[in-house]
Structure 1
Amino acid sequence: MLNEELKQALVSRRRDLHQYPEQGFLEMRTASIVAAELLELGFDIRTGLDVMKPDAVMGKPSEEVTSAHYHWAKENGADPSTIERFKNGFTGIVADWKTGKDGPVTAFRVDMDALPILESDAADHVPAAEGFRSLNEGSMHACGHDAHTSIGLGLARLIAENPDSLRGTIRLIFQPAEEGTRGSRSMAEAGVVDGVDHFIATHVGTGVPHRTFVAASNGFLATSKIDVTFKGIASHAGAKPEEGKNALLAAASAALNLQAISRHSGGTTRINVGELHAGSGRNVIADRAVMKVETRGENAQLNAFVKERAESVIRGSALMYGVDVRFETVGEAIDCNCSPDLAEQLAEAAPESPYIDHVVLEDTSSAGSEDATYFMERVIRNGGKATYCIVGTNLAAGHHNEKFDINEETMFAGVDVLYRAAMKLNGHN
């Protein structure tokens, strides 16, 4: 089903995107290229504020950062015909292929963003050795979203090349800011999956072996990402320590005591302090501290349990040291289980692919968190069906690692299986 030209296009596109990674809500170069290709193939596309609800966006970079990156994107290969659509940092894309024939609406979601990781330049790291290591220092595709975007474009090409084989509508959703679970809620609340009968999200890797396909991954935890700012009063640490109010000590106390939050008998819970920055000099009482915290729970209720107690601990530490504290939720995801009958249909389609040797119907092992759950929950609540599938791959290193890399044949499997799923769901009976 995939010819050599398409295979080469997948590899070339993935390597180009890998070389120019963009973090959440900054995927301007990426989105411009995706939008231009979709338009050329004949898709109807909606972008930016047409598919994103601004007040549901979480953790969006400042206007200054957004503007600077817009100029970077223009200077580094953004498509000039579409880049202006994304200059405000609302980088979501929804593309519809309407066949004009009665049939279901089937949506496929892929994500586009990179991570704040400095990519390895070691000789044994394939992107470095073969010349497609990140040129955007401090950003890296260390989770496979470059492959996801390429898979989405490969699927778009097969759909456009076989218009008479399908009925109903195929919808492709290219989502920004999955990392930090920030991007999908704004698109879901904008209604981009309303009226969708089948919703399929896809990821590569996550520990699944190469040439293995998982039709339903149900191991995602609900999560909240919280930025905490402590504000105290600076003072000379030697001359007038009693006049200071120490934000650093408040933050350090909170970081330690957060680990004492009890786990819950109702299921899995997690908490982590990932960053803590404070102070301005060894002889200055620190007047400011910033802490980045995440909570997780097996379901939204358990996550809320941990989040509520975390905020109580943090407020208590602030009170103890007489400093002010401010919270900002910069990312969030819920839990959602896949629809068994849709997963079964994917599991029936996958063995037909020459790139798949083994199919797993359901995997319930812990897989972190995933904001595609907002799409899934909305589709299911409205009477549709949804699943989250995994295309296995050989990994050079784990996800979110400076040496992360995939077996690029995985993209062939992803495109092939998703197209077979589209044919099964929207093909002529």
Structure 2
Amino acid sequence: MEFTPTVSQEQLVKIRRDLHRHAESGLSEFWTTSYLAEHLAALGCEVHLGEEVMDRSVMMGVPDPETQEARLKAALAQGADPKWLDKMNGLTGVMVDIRPDLPMHSVLRFDIDCVDVCESQDADHKPTAEGFASINANECHACAHDGHATIGLGVAMELMRRRDKLKHNVRLIFEPAEEGSRGARPMVSAGLVKGAKYFLAAHIGVNSTQDHALVCGTQGFLATTKFDVELFGLASHSGSDPHKGHNSLLAAATMLLNLHAIPRHGQGASRITVGMMSGGSGRNVIPDYAKLVCETRGATTEINQYMFDKAKLIIEHAAAMYEQKVKVTIMGSAGNAVSDKKMIDVVKQAAQDVPYFHKDLITEMGQGFGTDDACTFITAIQEQGGFGTYAQIGSKLPAGHHNQRFDFNEDLLQPSVELFCRSTFIMDNMD
């Protein structure tokens, strides 16, 4: 098909840098959601926010009210429109339909949250050197979601100009809280992919770290469960009455060591990590509270469940050893998924007509790393008879994902918009 981009590279770079500068953590993307909503509304899209896009009843890992209030105030101070904040009603994320008058057909997903790291202030770090480093402490777009959201806005601009050429509806989802696997589940539960036949998401980098490269599909994601463990013991004087206390920190330490001793599964990769342990109140007090922040992963949903079940057993028995009350809270979860050949072919065909992607650097299937919440969307689509894929857009990276010096090659922004648009029109002509 003939397709000449109308959105300029300069427009996209400006959007990307605006988003990068206002990095926000998952489920607190108030400024980002307002920014996206304002741009989408200006295109003539009907913007869907709040309970329309997120099922509050199944949400996990929601920040505490004090944190949310502070982040909401920060977003307002940084220029978020109160009109959009009111419509969010505390829930971030955006959805728009390009042709809501036509049957549901395809879904494009773009994640919008950042990583909880402090961005590098080194003079040779491009966002710092050129004045668009994050203004929010310990919040940084160190995983390219600012690029993904930018591509999504660019796609909306292009498709709205060509909406009369579409035979079916195309839905654009801007997902909050991909990090921690917390955004997709409430969006699926809210019905955002119901009736869809095709799904496309993409990530900058991942295991495609060469400029002009493209991986059209992905396999090898790890299913995951994110969970917090809280222990409630009994405080006592550590000198005169240590025998009267129930030591929560000692129970947590016992859990930590034994969780990492879970036998690995013989039928695929399995992981467990205790990423943080805290507790106690002073050197002369038997600790009466401790907390572990943990995750399991597995090459399949079943292997991940094996790891989580073993973890729960260890937690239960270690708590009993030290006479603890224990609370386990699921903070996020995602299964694994494999891209469908039918959708891989769509992306590959589209890429052939985007000059930026070198034909000898276009591959059909690549390996994922870690977990991506797109798997929840793909599985939901596949379970209703549809097809999905997760592409990897190549870019040289000065540092790895989730590193404070992460950045990507902005030259890929306009070609990626074109790739999504060409893929959309190919899907639009499929049954």
TM-score range, shorter chain: over 0.9
Question: Is the counterpart of residue 76 in structure 1 residue 78 in structure 2?
Answer: yes
Instruction: Report the counterpart of residue 56 of structure 2 in structure 1.
Output: 54
SS in 1 for 2:19: helix
Q: Distance in 2 between matches of 1:48 and 1:339?
A: 31
Question: Is the counterpart of residue 362 in structure 1 residue 365 in structure 2?
Answer: yes
SS in 1 for 2:40: helix
Instruction: Report the counterpart of residue 161 of structure 1 in structure 2.
Output: 161
Name the stretch that deviates more: 2-11 or 203-212: 2-11
CA shift at 1:166, angstroms? Answer: 2.3
Query: When the two structures are aligned, how many residues end up with a matched partner?
Result: 426
Question: Is the counterpart of residue 265 in structure 1 residue 266 in structure 2?
Answer: yes
8 Å contact kept, 1:100–1:167 = no
1:338-349 matches, within 5 Å, as 338-349=339-350
CA shift at 1:83, angstroms? Answer: 2.5
SS in 2 for 1:322: coil
8 Å contact kept, 2:6–2:158 = no
8 Å contact kept, 2:215–2:391 = yes
Cα deviations across residues 368-426 of structure 1 (Å, max 9, x unaligned)? 01111111111111111111111111111100111111111122232111111012122
Instruction: Report the counterpart of residue 289 of structure 2 in structure 1.
Output: 288
CA shift at 1:238, angstroms? Answer: 1.4
Q: Distance in 2 between matches of 1:130 and 1:4?
A: 26
CA shift at 1:104, angstroms? Answer: 6.2
Name the stretch that deviates more: 57-66 or 92-101: 92-101
1:12-91 matches, within 5 Å, as 12-88=14-90, 90-91=91-92
Question: Is the counterpart of residue 200 in structure 1 residue 203 in structure 2?
Answer: no
Compared CA separation, residues 428 and 230, structure 1 to 2 (3 A)? closer
SS in 1 for 2:122: coil
Q: Distance in 2 between matches of 1:28 and 1:97?
A: 23
Instruction: Report the counterpart of residue 336 of structure 2 in structure 1.
Output: 335
CA shift at 1:52, angstroms? Answer: 1.2
Instruction: Report the counterpart of residue 97 of structure 1 in structure 2.
Output: 98
SS in 2 for 1:157: helix
RMSD: 1.7
Compared CA separation, residues 399 and 8, structure 1 to 2 (3 A)? same
Q: Distance in 2 between matches of 1:196 and 1:5?
A: 27
Tell me the TM-score normalised to structure 1 length.
0.96
Q: Distance in 2 between matches of 1:163 and 1:108?
A: 15
Q: What is the identity, as a one-letter code, of the residue corresponding to 2:278?
A: H
Instruction: Report the counterpart of residue 149 of structure 1 in structure 2.
Output: 149
Question: Is the counterpart of residue 173 in structure 1 residue 197 in structure 2?
Answer: no
CA shift at 1:362, angstroms? Answer: 0.8
Q: Distance in 1 between matches of 2:201 and 2:368?
A: 17
Instruction: Report the counterpart of residue 232 of structure 2 in structure 1.
Output: 231
Compared CA separation, residues 104 and 344, structure 1 to 2 (3 A)? farther
Greater than 4 Å deviation, 4+ residue runs: 1-5
Q: What is the identity, as a one-letter code, of the residue corresponding to 1:393?
A: S
Cα deviations across residues 108-146 of structure 1 (Å, max 9, x unaligned)? 001111111111101111111111111111111110111
Q: Distance in 1 between matches of 2:100 and 2:335?
A: 33
SS in 2 for 1:174: strand
8 Å contact kept, 1:2–1:412 = no
Q: Distance in 2 between matches of 1:254 and 1:233?
A: 18
CA shift at 1:428, angstroms? Answer: 10
Q: Distance in 2 between matches of 1:410 and 1:281?
A: 52
8 Å contact kept, 2:46–2:96 = yes
Instruction: Report the counterpart of residue 373 of structure 1 in structure 2.
Output: 375
8 Å contact kept, 2:276–2:292 = yes
Tell me the TM-score normalised to structure 2 length.
0.95
Name the stretch that deviates more: 44-53 or 187-196: 44-53
Cα deviations across residues 209-250 of structure 1 (Å, max 9, x unaligned)? 221111111121100001000111111211211111111111
8 Å contact kept, 2:7–2:154 = no
8 Å contact kept, 1:104–1:167 = no
Cα deviations across residues 299-327 of structure 1 (Å, max 9, x unaligned)? 11111000000111111111111111110
SS in 2 for 1:361: strand
Instruction: Report the counterpart of residue 138 of structure 2 in structure 1.
Output: 138
Q: Distance in 2 between matches of 1:205 and 1:78?
A: 30
SS in 1 for 2:218: coil
Q: What is the identity, as a one-letter code, of the residue corresponding to 2:84?
A: T
8 Å contact kept, 1:6–1:154 = no
CA shift at 1:39, angstroms? Answer: 1.4
Identity rate, percent: 38
Instruction: Report the counterpart of residue 222 of structure 1 in structure 2.
Output: 223
Q: Distance in 2 between matches of 1:350 and 1:80?
A: 40
8 Å contact kept, 1:269–1:302 = yes
Q: Distance in 2 between matches of 1:428 and 1:328?
A: 43
Q: What is the identity, as a one-letter code, of the residue corresponding to 2:148?
A: H
1:178-193 matches, within 5 Å, as 178-193=178-193
Q: What is the identity, as a one-letter code, of the residue corresponding to 2:280?
A: G
Cα deviations across residues 313-355 of structure 1 (Å, max 9, x unaligned)? 1111111111111100000000122111111111111121121
SS in 2 for 1:43: coil
Q: Distance in 2 between matches of 1:80 and 1:427?
A: 40
CA shift at 1:87, angstroms? Answer: 4.2
8 Å contact kept, 1:167–1:428 = no
Q: Distance in 1 between matches of 2:282 and 2:82?
A: 46
Gaps of 5+ in 1: none
Q: Distance in 2 between matches of 1:98 and 1:303?
A: 39
Q: Distance in 2 between matches of 1:265 and 1:12?
A: 49
Q: What is the identity, as a one-letter code, of the residue corresponding to 1:245?
A: H
Q: Distance in 2 between matches of 1:221 and 1:417?
A: 27
Q: Distance in 1 between matches of 2:295 and 2:322?
A: 23
Instruction: Report the counterpart of residue 107 of structure 1 in structure 2.
Output: 107
SS in 1 for 2:277: strand
Instruction: Report the counterpart of residue 404 of structure 2 in structure 1.
Output: 402
SS in 2 for 1:360: strand
8 Å contact kept, 2:5–2:418 = no
Cα deviations across residues 282-315 of structure 1 (Å, max 9, x unaligned)? 1211111110110001111111000000111111
CA shift at 1:5, angstroms? Answer: 5.6
8 Å contact kept, 2:255–2:314 = yes
SS in 2 for 1:215: strand
Instruction: Report the counterpart of residue 301 of structure 2 in structure 1.
Output: 300
Q: Distance in 2 between matches of 1:360 and 1:233?
A: 58
